[in-house]
């Protein structure tokens, strides 16, 4: 288990802090229910900087590959993670509410004990597709195996219930 990175967010920006590292997926427990397995790791870099309006913020880059469940065939889906985001640090709830009204701004509440791993986990969860799936030509649902009876042909495989229709014809 790697050491968790906890920062004072405003102090991190004031000092132009920068950290980078790797997080094993096994340590991101809230993500586990969404994963096919816990293989791999995420690589991150976080730096404190001011935006163009001199507001403090955190620039976060996250890369890696995670394995999700394909929502079509339920097999393993390799899902690339490549995130870059800038999070404005709101000094109080009123500032955070103001930032939430603007859809172009991502903001979080500045705290003296910000757990960077939790922040990374939040960003990864928010970036996931609602129903991740393989491309049509890669999904095993569309690559039905012939069992000697030639259950499907190329024209039927485009329809999701083609295999069921073919089975009805056999009986």
Q: What is the pLDDT of residues 104-113, one digit of tens each?
A: 888 888 888 9
Q: What is the pLDDT of residues 5-28, one digit of tens each?
A: 888 989 988 898 899 999 999 999
Q: What is the pLDDT of residues 144-153, one digit of tens each?
A: 543 334 544 5
pTM, two decimal places: 0.75
In order, the DSSP letters of the chain are -PPP-EE-HHHHHHTT-EEEEEEEGGG-GGGGGGBS----EEEEEEEEEE-TTS-EEEEEEEEEEEEEE-TTT-SEEEEEEEEEEEEEEESSHHHHHHHHH-TT-EEEE--SSEEHHHHHHHHHHHHS-SS----TTT-GGGSPPP-SS----TTTTTSTTHHHHHHHHH-
């Amino acid at each position: 288990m790697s050491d968790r990175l906890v920062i004072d967010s405003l102090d991190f920006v004031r000092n132009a802090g920068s950290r980078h590292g790797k997080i094993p997926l096994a340590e991101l427990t809230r993500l586990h229910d969404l994963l096919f397995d816990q293989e791999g790791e995420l690589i991150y870099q976080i730096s404190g900087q001011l935006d163009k309006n001199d507001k403090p913020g955190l620039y976060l880059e996250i890369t890696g590959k995670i394995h999700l469940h394909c929502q079509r065939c339920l097999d393993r889906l390799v899902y690339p993670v490549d995130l870059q985001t800038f999070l404005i640090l709101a000094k109080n709830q009123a500032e955070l509410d103001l930032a939430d009204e603007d859809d172009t701004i991502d903001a979080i509440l500045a705290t003296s004990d910000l757990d960077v791993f939790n922040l990374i986990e939040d960003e990864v969860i928010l970036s996931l597709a609602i129903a991740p799936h393989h491309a049509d030509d890669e999904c095993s649902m569309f690559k039905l195996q012939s069992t000697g009876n030639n259950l499907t042909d190329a024209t039927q495989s485009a329809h999701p219930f083609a295999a069921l229709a073919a089975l009805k014809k056999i009986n």
